[in-house]
Structure 1
């Protein structure tokens, strides 16, 4: 995927996320969504796929260079406890205020403009180490795609069409990550419907 496509994929995923957030009924923010998160907490966690781009671009990048999104995920995998991630999501959800949709809309607009105007090779200070913007964006597209689908399921909505390219890109990234894990054989069998998937779900 070329750099323009990477940015377009991210921006499309952000737009899809906003579409879902704008569809949340006023009474649904406290409804269960995913694990410990209610809809607000899931929205807060997912919004970090936007806010971290902004904050990490404004932080001096130090440490070893991380060579792309696969290396990023392999580095941060298991580095933060699930409880800490859940708490951070709830806290971020709380900061969205009385009108979470308006807060997310402003964030999407602001970060979208930043991504469009920032050079591809701009340094980004991530938890895994220094990256370029264009290498970091696929990790945020992945978060928007997966949690966008989580939010759609929680709201019993169809995934927005704008999320389709991000889903495809995230499948490719997930496969590339999985290929490096000890569980790679099991993951391959899972994708081919060998174990535990509903309706004989398979890539073939």
Structure 2
């Protein structure tokens, strides 16, 4: 899990280096411009370092897939507007040199993970989860939003194979535990189409 997270983090940093200077204030995803989208994605690094400073009293979330069921704005009663604003602020926090900022976040997150072992950390909502279960969710976020960033910036980009593999496996696990496994399996095997805007997260 640690190696794949490191692969995702370095790939994300490489992608950010390739963003044209003229693209940063252009469209990103939904109400986010590209800077906010990159800022939101950078939180996959920031939260790892931040949560490693916490200690949870109990293990509330027992897998990466369960995280996407229990730790959602809807499940936690978080206003989606607050999530959007955090992304915008994270974009501002990238500063005048986003590339250097992202590289620093990658360096810090990887060093923190290497030194951590597998602690029980406390994530948003005060829920406890093992680091080895949390990291695949961050890999997933960097993979999916990496593709979002590349599309928005007009960059040809494919996440590393190990990152894609872990992200796809997690997506399948989430589909199953959220009751969409059969629907997704039929779609992946060409037997049925998914509804417009279908998402497992």
- Contact kept in structure 2, 1:7 and 1:137, CA below 8 Å: yes
Superposition TM-score, scaled by structure 1 size: 0.86
Q: CA deviation at 1:186?
A: 2.6
The 5 A counterparts of 1:23-42 are: 23-42=18-37
Match of residue 66 from structure 2: 71
Cα displacement (A) at 1:116: 1.6
- Say if 1:60 and 1:117 are closer, same or farther in 2 by CA, change over 3 A: closer
d(CA) in 2 for partners of 1:160 and 1:181?
27
Which of 112, 115, 118 is the matching residue for 1:114? 112
Distance in 2 of aligned mates of 1:184 and 1:134: 24
- 2:182 pairs with 1:185: yes
Task: Work out the CA distance in 2 between the residues paired with 1:126 and 1:170.
Answer: 20
Distance in 1, matches of 2:58 and 2:130, equals 13
Name the count of aligned residue pairs. 190
Deviates more, 1:8-17 or 1:61-70: 61-70
How far, CA to CA, are the matches of 1:34 and 1:136 in structure 2? 24
What are the within-5 Å matches in structure 2 for residues 129-168 of structure 1? Answer: 129-160=127-158, 163-168=160-165
**Cα shift readout 1:43-79 (whole Å, capped 9, x = no counterpart):** 0100010000011111232454321211111102333
Aligned match for 2:169, one of 164, 168, 172:
172
- 1:2-51 CA distances to partner (integer Å, 9 max, x unpaired)? xxxx1110000000100111111222111102111111011010001000
The runs of 5 or more residues in structure 2 that have no matched partner are 196-201
**Alignment TM-score, normalising by the size of structure 2:** 0.87
The CA distance in 1 between the partners of 2:52 and 2:179, in whole Å, is 33
1:43 counterpart = 2:38 = yes
In the alignment, which residue of structure 2 is the partner of 1:3? Answer: none
- Give unmatched runs, 5+ long, in structure 1: 1-5, 198-204
**Aligned Cα root-mean-square deviation (Å):** 1.8
Residue 124 of structure 2 corresponds to residue 127 of structure 1: yes
Moved more, 11-20 or 83-92: 83-92
SS of 2:22's partner is helix
